[in-house]
Chains A and B, each alone.
Chain A
Amino acid sequence: MDSFFARNRLSAYLDRTLPKAEAEAVAEAIARDIALSADVQAMHKVLAMMNEVGAVAAPKGFHARTMATIAAQPVPGSQVAWLQRRLARIPTELVALIGAAVVTAIALQRGTASEPSDPVAAPEYTTPAIATPTLPTPETPATPETVTEPVVPSTAPAPAAAKPVKRPKRTVKTPVPDSLPYDPNEPLAYRILSGGDQVLYDIATLADESGGRLVDVHGKLITPRALNEQNSFAAVYMVVNGANAASTHARLLERSGMEPYPLDGPQPPLNEGETVFMIEAQL
């Protein structure tokens, strides 16, 4: 055997993992080549040194210190940790906006309260229940004016001098995405915008709970990671059993909050009876 090939087999030779004939050929090459022989001796010595140092025991008190550090952490999966993760996802701008809205609302309320009251006391009456707008169904098609004004009971005195009560505009909500039907023959892709740095872990949990797996386009299992400014986007595929596809679809819709789009691009290889979903997640 040539010295070059023999040198490339030195590790396996020393580990005694070479087939017998190959090991004999390496031994012959070592006997022939002084440099190769020196390599073997030096490598042998290195292995002996590594064997001698062996595994090192963790420092004294490491166990107790680590358990104490862990005890100081929020309990994973607890409501506190859940709340912390959710709060971390709320952008600062949104918090500022909500704060400004609250301050404005309070200011407006005080302004209204300080207005001179009407000399004619408004009679007291109970506000009748407002009829709930009906969502469009096949039997009752939606119309823009499905909200009916409340009818003041005839027994109540008419508040002639009272200012007209401003009622908040009620709008009929458009159908939420989770009402979208799921067609197993039409694979879908979902977008999760502003998912937070832990979004891939959430998706992995969802896959786990659905009995599925997260893979790349080649079908290789993906280990979730935290997203950050440098890696703020990830596209993953969730493969689940067809029996769980509809419920997975519903949960993905809920998490995404957006209408999915057809998955036309490449897909990972699937086993019989499996369904794939694509998820594009953003920090």
Chain B
Amino acid sequence: MADLIRRIHSGDPAAFAEVLASEQDDVYTLCLRCLGPADAEAVCETVFVAAHQELNRVAVDTDLRTFLMKLTVAHIESHPPGGADNLDALHDRSATTQGLLAGLELPFRLAVVMRDILRMSEAHIADVLDLSLGTTRSRIHRGRLTMARGLSPNLDRV
């Protein structure tokens, strides 16, 4: 990882292409699940363009994945909420999941997507979202519970 950043600092264009190739799917997934299919690609591209600028300034020992996830979260949070997403393009099952995720407020959506789709550890999510571990766990739990209730609306409320 440090070697990759050193290569970026030295102006090696292939180094950033490697970063893009290895991280584009996760960044795109986070954008897709948090913003919907209409805006995901554009925001994802913006994240990598910004990353290309920023990586020249970061310390060599920076964790690239955490850095990119933080940058993605910042872009998602600053993205204006769009209209209704066209979920038809997604697979049926995927559309249901996307619909449930869309029902969550953004802080909970981010936490749930990182935990249950990107399989990130709670500690890593806490680091990316700049939250305590307890708050992170609470967000994941409340997000999951809200989605569960969305799936079975007749469940009792807490």
The residues of A with any CB-CB pair to B shorter than 8 Å are: 4, 7-8, 10-12, 35, 38-39, 41-43, 45-47, 49-59, 62-63, 65-67, 69-70, 73, 75-77, 201, 204-205, 208, 223
A53-B117 in contact (CB<8A): yes
A201 CA / B24 CA spacing, docked (Å): 25
Known: A12-B137, A46-B144, A70-B16. A54 touches B117 (CB 8 A): yes
Chain B residue total in the interface (Cβ 8 A): 46
Cross-chain contact of B93 among A47, A52, A75, A208 (Cβ < 8 A): A52
B137-A69 in contact (CB<8A): no
* Minimum C-beta distance from B82 to chain A (A): 18
The residues of B with any CB-CB pair to A shorter than 8 Å are: 11, 16-17, 20-21, 24-29, 32, 41, 44-45, 48-49, 52-53, 55-57, 59, 70, 93-94, 96-97, 100, 112, 116-118, 137, 140-141, 144-145, 147-149, 151-152, 155-156, 158
A53 CA / B158 CA spacing, docked (Å): 28
B52-A49 in contact (CB<8A): no
Known: A39-B148, A50-B116, A53-B117. A7 touches B158 (CB 8 A): yes
B141-A50 in contact (CB<8A): no
* Among all A-B residue pairs, the 9 with the closest Cβ atoms: A42-B148, A11-B141, A50-B116, A35-B156, A58-B28, A43-B148, A58-B24, A76-B56, A42-B152
A53 CA / B148 CA spacing, docked (Å): 16
A55-B29 in contact (CB<8A): yes
Nearest-neighbor residue (CB-CB) of A51 within chain B: B116
Q: What are 15 contact pairs spanning A and B, CB under 8 A? A: A45-B148, A46-B144, A46-B147, A55-B118, A57-B28, A58-B28, A59-B28, A62-B24, A63-B21, A65-B45, A67-B17, A70-B49, A70-B52, A77-B56, A223-B70
Central interface residue in B57, B70, B96, by most chain A CB within 10 Å: B57
- What residues of A have a CB within 8 angstroms of the CB of B147 in the complex? 43, 46
- What residues of B have a CB within 8 angstroms of the CB of A42 in the complex? 148-149, 151-152, 155
* Minimum C-beta distance from A261 to chain B (A): 28
Nearest-neighbor residue (CB-CB) of B91 within chain A: A53
